[in-house]
Structures are given as C-alpha cells and as structure tokens.
Amino acid sequence: MATAQVVRSEWTKIRSVASTVWTLSSAVVVTIALGMLISALSRSEFDNLDRREQLSFDPTFISFAGTSLGQLAMIVFGVLVVSNEYSTGMIRASLAAVPRRGVFLFSKLTVATVLAFVVGMATSFATFFLGQLMLGDLGTSLSDDGVLRAVIGGGLYMTLIALFSMGVATMLRSPMLSLGILMPFFFLISNILGNVDATKKVGQFLPDQAGSRIMQVVTPLDDDTPYGPWGGLGIMALWVIAAVAGGYVLLRRRDAQ
C-alpha cells in the first residue's frame, strides 16, 4: 500500500471514531471556558493582590489557565488514536495491510499530529482573545512583546502533549495502562516534583513544566528557571522524540497483539 493511501486510511480511522472527535471537542471547550473563567476572576481580584503579585501579573498566561485541564483531553485523544486498534484487535489487520511498520506508525502520527496542531492553534488563539476580553483593561494584545510567541506556543504545547501521548501509547498498547500512567504523571507527580523545594530542579525538566514556559510572557520575580520559553519547548520536544522513538522500536520488534 502506497504511503498516500496509508495516510488516507489513517484519516478515515480517526474521523470515523466518535471518541476521538469528542475528545478534541472537549479540549477546545474546556480550555476556552476555564481560561475565560480564570481571567474574569483574576480581573475581579487584581486590586486585592499585593504589589509583588501585581508586578508578576501575566495576562497572557492567565488566559491559558484552562490549558492545564484541556491537555487532559489531548492526552486522551493521543492515547485513543493509537491504542483503539489494539483494544479492538484491528491492529492485526492494519499491520497485515501495511507490513512496513514505520510507514504505518508515522502515517498515523502525522495525521493525528496535524489534526492536533490545527485544533491546538485554533484553541490557543480563541483562548487568548476571549481571555483578554474577560481581563478588560488588564489585558494585553498580540502586538505586545512576547505575546504572539506565547499564543503560537500554546498551540504547539497542546500538539506536543498529544504526540507525546501517542508515543507512550505505542509503547504500552493498552489504553487503560497508558492513561493510568500519563494522568498521574501530568496531574500529580509533575505538580509534586515541581512544587517541593527538594525536587523542584528536577520538576523543571518534565515535559509539561518545561513546555508550558512558552506561554509565559512576564517572568515571575523569584523565578530561577535555567532556560527560556523556546528552551523549555525544546526540552518538551526531546521528551516527545524519545517517546515516539521508543514506540517505533517496540512496534518493529513485537508481534501484533
């Protein structure tokens, strides 16, 4: 089967499965809704902040507050794109039709990543504009220094989260096992390591903490992170490359199950 045919086949698989469509829709709704809510609350509470907190106020990053929850849906999307075929047993037929496993995997990842990128970018820009609307006179604009980078970075961050999840799911094959590892990793372990003084320097190099740096415009006064916005996104990209490479190696070595 030609590569173009494999790509079309993977596109058909993704758009024909209701769960993947719903998870992407959830990512958009949750990210935008929570971002608007937090932005509105931040506007009402701004005068109650102390001087130090006001100086560190980042209207761009505030509007992306919903990304922390929206990434949950992107993780589920990434896992389902890969592991649905294993849970249904369809993987045997897929690999029989496309014996070149590298072509099979990277066609799947390419289609899903492009879709995640389009959704992530649209969500990021919508979240920013609606968040600034809620912030009113505390808001900023795309023309301000660093803002456009942060907004584009928000879309890239969501895309990389989905791709990282695909890599992990390719290695583990099971949707339950993949989600059982990814959810605690991003929503529990990362937060603990990043907020405990003894492990904070380690937590800074986890994919979500490093990647989210791209969405920051105002650097906190007590920040000692050893890398900048693009450096953080680069660290996240390395995690993604490692996950995808691991998935590719294991896919080539294992039998279809």
pLDDT digit string (tens) for the chain, length 257 residues: 567 888 888 888 888 777 888 899 999 999 999 999 999 999 999 888 888 888 889 999 999 999 989 999 999 999 999 888 887 777 777 777 777 888 888 999 999 999 999 999 999 999 999 999 999 999 999 999 999 999 999 999 999 999 999 999 999 988 899 999 999 999 888 888 888 877 888 889 999 999 999 999 998 877 888 999 999 999 999 999 999 999 999 988 876 55
Domain interval for residue 25: 3-253
Q: How many domains does the chain have?
A: 1
At 227 the pLDDT is 93
HEC letters along the chain: CCHHHHHHHHHHHHHHCHHHHHHHHHHHHHHHHHHHHHHHHHHHHHHHCCHHHHHCCCHHHHHCCCHHHHHHHHHHHHHHHHHHHHHHCHHHHHHHHCCCHHHHHHHHHHHHHHHHHHHHHHHHHHHHHHHHHHHHHHCCCCCCCCHHHHHHHHHHHHHHHHHHHHHHHHHHCCHHHHHHHHHHHHHHHHHHHHHCCCCHHHHCCCHHHHHHHHHCCCCCCCCCCCCCHHHHHHHHHHHHHHHHHHHHHHHHHCCCC
This prediction's pTM: 0.92
